[in-house]
Chains A and B, each alone.
Chain A
Amino acid sequence: MTLRTILRRSLLAVVTLFITVLLNFLLLRVVRTDPVATMTRGRKVSAEKRAELREKFGLDDSTVVQFLKYLKELLKGNLGYSFQTGRPVTTEIFSKIWPTISLIGISTLLSAIIGIWLGIRAGWRPGSAFDRLSTGTTMLFYSTSDAFLGLLLAYLFTSRLQWFPTGGIVDPRSDAVGLQKLFEQLHHMVLPATVLTVGYLGQYSLVMRASILETSKEDFLTLARAKGSTDDYVRRRHAVPNAMLPSITLTALSIGYVLGGSIVIETLFTWPGLGLAFSRALGAQDFPMLQGLFLVSSASVIVLTLLADLLYARLDPRVRIA
């Protein structure tokens, strides 16, 4: 792959990002509301104070001017101020990135690893008891909504059995430090992570199963077998590496979605990440915050897509980038 292709791909990503920023910006301006009214709801505010707020948030400018200003500030790393807290959006988002990365990141990786493993086993012996069991189960969970699965687990393991806490990262009453604190955090993470892991196994196992199935018909596997290799060896050394590509792309893309958080699960378990921030910003019509969250999640998808693209070409010599 030449440097030129990399540059071209990157340029395309930048253009996509720009269009996304524009759409995000316009989308929130289609909603016909007055941010000053939202901010000052419930108080009697003088006309001068309103004017001052309009001035501060640049609401009197035309949409084009507002967008250019927004873009200029964006390039400086300034995403504006949250209507809810009055603090910079970047500060708000940064404080919520880690909880999301830890919960959604771990779940995505677990889901990918387990899912791919299940897919390999299922696809290698299609129609076997394992295949039917694993494909049936993962599809069942994949087609169940996160919200339902989450409620079900919360009901069973928190309300009934009382094995797990109701939510949060830690119990605010606890003084645990060090290793103990880590264990406490893991304890709090078990239920939400289980929902997100189990719920998405299906997409990985199905993709992996399909590509293993396809690869298993290839001539080079027949050759490998003819050379006397064991079934296990053929699978590990010949089939899997060749069938991995779609799964790698899928995993890379899924990692891009991590920064979108999980609105449903983070809300159910009061997990203080980006997903919960999103639902709260939506409820409070906190446009700068929503815009910032949209931007972070779409940018991460675009960047990871670019990486997956480049990685794909690198891993598979058959893919020619024209």
Chain B
Amino acid sequence: MARNVRRRTTAALIAAGALAVSALTGPAAQGQADEKITFTVGVSQEIDSLNLSIGLLVVDYEVWNLQFAALTELSDEDFSPLPGLAESWTTSEDGLTWTYSLREGLQWSDGEPLTADDVVYSIERPRDEEWACCYEIIKNLEARAIDARTVEVITSVPDPKLPGLGYVIPKHIYEPIDTEALADYKAEDGIGSGPFVLTDHNPGESWRMERNELWYGEEPYIDEIIFRYFADPDQMVTALENGEVDAIDSVDEDLIESTEANADLVVVEGGQGGFSHVGMNTGDGLGDQHPALADREVRQAINRAINREVLLDEVAGGRGTVGTVIGAGASNIWEPEIAPEDLFTFDPDAANQQLDDAGYLDTDGDGVREMPDGTNPLNFRLHIRADTPSDEEKAQFIGPWLADIGIDTEVLVATEDELTAILGRGEFDMFTWGWVPFVDPSGMLSSLICDQVTVDPDEPLYNDANWCNEEFDRLYEEQNQELDRERRVEIVHEMLRLFYEEAPYVVLYKANDISAYSKEWTGFIRQPADTGPILFTNSSHSYLTIRPVDVPARDGDGDGDATPATDAKDGDGGGLSTGVIVGGVLGAGAIGAIAIASAMAGRRRRSEDRE
């Protein structure tokens, strides 16, 4: 009893103090709200660097997407290129030379003219210095200014990503900073050509972006965006509930249901192709993998022994889709349908039969099969990531399922850095990880070609299944230079079918990103249409159309509200009919970084939550 008394007194004292303080602070916080429209986003990441040669995180890209207008924009529908700073472009017969015409009267936010020189500079410097943001998409390009508003871009190889080109950076800001000094440049001077520019940054707390009056496009409804950092996911949801923020970039798994139950909030699920997988060491690289995994029959049997529906429900809370083929690009038009008879549906009997037929029998009766010659029982190491709690859950399901088909697994735990090294040395049989693809499929597909099988353990490459397939490589080269979009989609479909059939991966599921916003706001845009997220997309267009519900819409801006529930398999098709224009990329390398960074952010959120 005594304790209760004490607590009540403390509570009363605190309450009194709080009221006194709110009385003093209340009016100040509301004073400006009538004049300016401010949209506040809770974010689970802090900016690491806004320097384009350094920054790596999703939040950095959100700032850049808003501050730096791209030469060509990405459509919200399917990422196809739209006029950006360039109002039009033409291409040569051979598709190697592209000529862009800039809009008239473009200016940087500080009033300096934005010219063809800036565009040329934005290709040359990041290419020569291999900037993290952009190198991957511009490495084959040369650019020159024909006149102040005309730029010619020449690619050394046919490139289906063109005419899509990304950020244009202010030459007059970057040029005085030499390579040496660039590493220390914070890039927080807020000079850009996009709809919003950075005006304030309090590290560890928040940053503010205000409307750029000199942006070429139509004025957004909102005057400023505040991004507020939260180190604790629960507190971030509370802040949304309490009206301290208007939207949040992620909702922790445990909080999704309670957030959905809140009538004032909208929860949005969206995906851009990311997937979780079990990789198998197929043995085309270094290492000491189990020989059975070099056999496609064994890998297929493993694919049939894993119940993806259960994993999606139990590990990802049912928020996403069951895995089939890998995701190759941010839009699902790149993913082929697999005919029902070719699907590796959960069927332990069929898996057992397949292993029996291939000669992997349990000759000594210990419940574990051996190689066809009767030696080397099928004991596989299964590496999982220490920094991802859901990996442990996956392993708890996968172990027994594989035991049911006579395969024994030993679960080993490693941090991601350790696992990267282990994969590089090839000292693994199976492991759990995931990928989030680039907008353009070339990036993801290039990770799986023979050239990406690690040869030097000190320089781990990307082909994490040590899988080398000549047909796949040939198709990769073909799609990488195929300028006809429909044909290219077909080739990519063929590659994904081949990969599925060869089964170096078990694609477990494609989990959705979950974000949420307050119903006091409307006008959000998904990218890609119907299935994508609303914020932290590849071009951050929502900020141009969102408005408080009591602000009337302009002509043409419907209530394009993202509805909570969508089937990620819907909304295809539109992309194919846009035909002529090839799928664009706003910094494919950039998006790759986003991908990995967002995966990292997700992990960090989850692991922090457990601490």
Contact = CB atoms under 8 A, between A and B. Distances in A.
A159 B115 CA distance: 51
Interface stretch (B18-26, B163-171, B518-526): B18-26
B241 interface: yes
Given A38-B417, A85-B49, A187-B18, A172 B232 contact: no
A174 B205 CA distance: 13
Contact of A176 (B28, B208, B226): B28
Interface size band for B: 35 or more
Nearest to B206: A172
Contact of A167 (B184, B235, B600): B235
Contacts of B24: 180, 183-184
Interface in A77-135: 84-87, 92, 95-96, 99, 132-133
A270 B230 contact: yes
A128 B608 CA distance: 44
A49 B130 contact: yes
B376 interface: no
B226 A164 contact: no
B25 A163 contact: no
Given A45-B130, A47-B459, A167-B230, A176 B14 contact: no
Interface residues of A, number: 73
A133 B48 CA distance: 49
Interface stretch (A13-21, A231-239, A275-283, A295-303): A275-283
A285 B417 contact: yes
Given A95-B203, A137-B3, A172-B40, A190 B14 contact: yes
Contact of B2 (A86, A136, A157, A264): A136
Given A41-B596, A133-B6, A180 B231 contact: no
A34 interface: yes
B110 interface: no
Contacts of B140: none
A159 to B, nearest CB: 5
B420 interface: yes
B29 A159 contact: no
A9 to B, nearest CB: 37
A272 B25 contact: no
B388 interface: no
Contacts of B231: 167, 266-268, 270, 276, 279-280
Contact of B15 (A95, A136, A163, A284): A163
Q: Which of A42, A132, A280 is most buried by chain B, counting CB atoms within 10 A of its CB?
A: A42
Interface string B2-45: 11001000110011011101101100110111000010100000
Contacts of A174: 25, 28-29
Interface stretch (B117-125, B572-580, B587-595): B587-595
A276 B203 CA distance: 12
B46 interface: yes
B17 A268 contact: no
Contacts of B15: 161, 163
A30 B333 CA distance: 46
Interface in B580-611: 589, 592-593, 595-597, 600, 604, 607-608, 611
Q: Which of A133, A186, A272 is most buried by chain B, counting CB atoms within 10 A of its CB?
A: A272
B239 interface: yes
A38 B460 CA distance: 12
Contacts of A87: 184, 186
B459 A268 contact: no
A292 B28 CA distance: 38
A165 interface: yes
B21 A166 contact: no
B242 A166 contact: yes
Interface in B202-216: 202-206, 208
Nearest to A84: B48
A63 interface: no
B486 interface: no
A87 B56 CA distance: 15
Contacts, number: 186
A86 B238 contact: no
Contacts of B205: 168-170, 172, 270, 272
Interface string B219-249: 0000000101111101110110110100000
A43 B29 contact: no
B459 A165 contact: no
Given A183-B24, A190-B17, A37 B48 contact: no
Given A172-B226, A187-B18, A34 B459 contact: no
Contacts of A154: 234-235, 238
A279 B14 contact: no
B186 A43 contact: no
B183 interface: yes
B272 interface: no
B229 A270 contact: yes
Contact of A173 (B40, B184, B236, B607): B40
A283 B232 contact: no
B531 interface: no
B28 A166 contact: no
A42 B438 CA distance: 11
A318 interface: no
B331 to A, nearest CB: 21
A92 B186 CA distance: 13
B54 A43 contact: no
Contact of B22 (A37, A163, A285): A163
Nearest to B185: A86
Interface string A16-43: 0000000000000000111001101111
A267 B608 contact: yes
Contacts of A32: 418, 421
A277 B22 CA distance: 29
A151 B230 CA distance: 15
Contacts of A96: 204
Contacts of B592: 42-43
Nearest to B7: A137
A174 B600 CA distance: 31
A51 B29 CA distance: 51
A267 B415 CA distance: 22
B136 interface: yes
A86 B50 CA distance: 11
A76 interface: no
Contacts of B56: 41-43
Given A176-B28, A270-B235, A163 B18 contact: yes
A187 B22 contact: yes
B63 to A, nearest CB: 14
A99 B24 CA distance: 22
A259 interface: no
Q: Which of B54, B204, B226, B420 is most buried by chain A, counting CB atoms within 10 A of its CB?
A: B204
B275 to A, nearest CB: 17
Interface in A55-84: 84
Contacts of B101: none
B3 to A, nearest CB: 6
Interface string B166-179: 00000000000000
B430 interface: no
Interface in B228-286: 228-232, 234-236, 238-239, 241-242, 244
Contacts of A184: 21, 24-25, 28-29
B204 A276 contact: yes
A290 interface: no
Nearest to A35: B417
17 contacts: A33-B415, A34-B417, A42-B595, A43-B56, A47-B459, A86-B184, A92-B203, A95-B203, A137-B6, A156-B11, A159-B242, A167-B235, A267-B608, A268-B231, A268-B232, A280-B46, A284-B48
Given A41-B596, A183-B21, 9 more contacts: A84-B48, A95-B203, A167-B230, A171-B244, A172-B205, A172-B208, A174-B25, A267-B611, A280-B46
Q: Which 8 A-B pairs have the closest CB atoms?
A: A272-B204, A42-B596, A172-B206, A187-B21, A33-B417, A163-B18, A166-B239, A176-B28
